[in-house]
Amino acid sequence: MVKKVISSSKTAKTHKRLTRFCPSCGTETDELFEGLCRKCFLSNVELLQAAKRVQFGLCYDCGRIRFNKFWQSYDSKNALVRDVVLRHARPLRGAKLSINYSDFTIKGKTEVPVEVTATIESNSRTLSKSKDMLLVITPEICPDCSRLRGGYYEAIIQLRGEGQERLQAAVENEMKKYTKIEPNAFISKVERLKEGVDIYVGSRTAAIKISSELRKLYNVECTITHKIHGMRQGKEVRRTTVLLRGSFAHS
């Protein structure tokens, strides 16, 4: 077997770098984006498409945002702006999107100017395009909050026995977990009675789930009763009572 040894030529490094041509216009260039020169690439593709104006509702009370019929909550203004922009801007596949805006406070109808930039990298050259978007926030009241304002409730969590304050705090804490996933997961009223505390809850499902969580954490007995509370628009209106009784010490 013959091994061919190719020694590296001393002249190789001095060779002129291969010049490339744009197949579309024939321009001589080393700067190719997906095989085309900058000019042809930009005239062939839209690097960034974005809506000029996006209007959406925001609930005064809970701060959730409405997209058509859906209400969604966000942990931060940044997450909110990002999500709205991503729903209404389309960068070219493979392009990176960056979002620029000044901090804002929502007070009545609020306009937030946002600059969106798409950047694409090819052969260590970058190409970018920016567009201005205007986010228009219109405050309104979501259906959950309007029921909350009207004192709506489907269930009452009754706390009886010792350590009710601690358990009340636990109920309020657990409720926060359900606010984002369960409609009407709110406390519409808290009543202090001689025999204990009654917590009025907008969602029956949330009330039942929370009680079963608390049963795992504390040494409490739980009794759930459903009662028919009259009729409304041909439907039975049910009220659920969740009775938590015990020493409320950690089990």
- Of 41 and 248, the one with the shorter C-beta distance to Zn ion is 41
Closest distance of CB 22 from Zn ion, Å = 3
**C-beta separation of 244 from 222 below 8 A:** yes
Cα within 13 Å of Cα(238), Cβ side: 9
Residues 6 or more apart whose Cβ sits within 8 Å of residue 176: none
* Candidate list 58, 84, 120, 145; residue touching Zn ion; CB under 5 A: 145
Binder among 50, 142, 155, 201 for Zn ion (CB under 5 A) = 142
Nearer to Zn ion among residue 27 and residue 119 (C-beta): 27
Sheet holding 155-161, edge to edge: 187-192, 196-201, 155-161, 235-250, 218-232
Contact 248, 168 (CB under 8 A): no
Choose among 251, 222, 250, 247: nearest CA to 162. 247
| Interaction of residue 32 with Zn ion, rule CB under 5 A | no
Q: Are 168 and 150 in contact (CB under 8 A)?
A: no
Q: Minimum CB separation from Zn ion for residue 14, in Å?
A: 29
Segment interacting with Zn ion (CB under 5 A) among 97-105, 137-145, 152-160, 172-180:
137-145
Nearer to Zn ion, 172 or 221 (CB): 172
1 contact partners, CB below 8 Å, separation of at least 6 = none
x/- string (CB under 5 A) for Zn ion, residues 36-65?
A: -x--x------------------x-xx---
Residue 26 or 230: which CB sits closer to Zn ion?
26
If the CB atoms of residues 180 and 239 are measured against Zn ion, the closer one turns out to be 180
In the complex, the residues that contact Zn ion under the rule CB under 5 A are: 22, 24-25, 27, 37, 40, 59, 61-62, 142, 145
